[in-house]
């Protein structure tokens, strides 16, 4: 199967996810700066989630750039990723509206963890599908960055129960690790030109 439908569908879902998140930023009915103050936690959670969705979109694009076709297993692995990403707007709003309290921050972390696991599964499924895809295999390598992200999410979720801001800090740390698109794939593709 060609990959274009999967890419188009994924791009559409990700665009909808971002749209849903921004719609949760409610416009205040007052025109003063103080009217924005209650929205600050919601905006911070939106900003973090927007960055995460952008990271997944960028890396998803790079990942699919290395393959020419896909299988049914790849479609399901991709749907698994999109499912977990589709929960980000809910957890984002819950976390922001509850001022980063313990359970919303922990559940947000669980969604990030599961999205990370789903991305790893997608990556592995693509590798299994395209056994001769040395571009992707060389670019991914042992995927220390991806595996360490999953480990940090687990630690963050646990530490959230000590203090939610520890979890938030670790979620920001993982986002910072991935803020620049995965250069491994770009580098391998450039080498093969």
pLDDT tens track for 112-171: 999 999 999 999 898 887 666 666 777 677 788 889 999 999 999 999 999 999 999 999
Name which residue leads in pLDDT, 2 or 47: 47
Name which residue leads in pLDDT, 7 or 133: 7
H helical segments located in 25-143: 40-65, 72-86, 88-97, 102-129, 134-140
pLDDT at residue 92 in the model? 97
Q: pLDDT above 90 covers what percent of the chain?
A: 63
pLDDT at residue 38 in the model? 86
Of the listed ranges 53-57, 62-66, 157-161, 178-182, the one predicted with least confidence: 178-182
What is the enclosing helix (H) or strand (E) of 5? Answer: helix 4-23
The whole-model pTM stands at 0.90
Neighbouring CB atoms inside 10 A of 26's CB total: 11
Name which residue leads in pLDDT, 65 or 86: 86
Q: Please choose, from the candidates 52, 51, 164, 44, the residue with its C-alpha nearest in 3D space to the C-alpha of residue 97.
A: 44
Exposure string over 102-141, b if 16+ CB within 10 A, otherwise e: eebbbbbbbbbbbbbbbbbbbbebbeebbeebebbeebbe
Tell whether the model's pLDDT for residue 42 goes beyond 80: yes
């Amino acid at each position: 199967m060609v990959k274009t439908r999967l890419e188009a569908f994924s791009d559409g879902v990700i665009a909808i996810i971002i749209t849903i998140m921004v719609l949760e930023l409610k416009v205040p009915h007052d025109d003063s700066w103080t009217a924005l103050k209650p929205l600050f936690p919601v905006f911070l959670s939106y900003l973090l989630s927007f960055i995460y969705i952008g990271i997944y979109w960028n890396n998803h694009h790079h990942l699919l750039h290395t393959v020419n076709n896909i299988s049914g297993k790849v479609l399901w692995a991709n749907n698994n990723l999109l499912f977990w990403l589709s929960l980000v707007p809910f957890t984002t709003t819950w976390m922001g509206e509850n001022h980063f309290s313990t359970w919303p921050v922990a559940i947000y972390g669980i969604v990030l963890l599961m999205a990370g696991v789903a991305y790893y599964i997608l990556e592995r499924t693509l590798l299994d599908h395209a056994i001769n895809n040395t571009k992707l295999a060389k670019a991914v390598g042992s995927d220390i960055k991806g595996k360490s992200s999953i480990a940090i999410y687990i630690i963050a979720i646990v530490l959230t129960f000590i203090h939610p801001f520890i979890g938030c800090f670790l979620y920001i740390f993982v986002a910072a690790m991935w803020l620049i698109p995965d250069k491994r794939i770009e580098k391998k593709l450039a080498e093969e030109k």
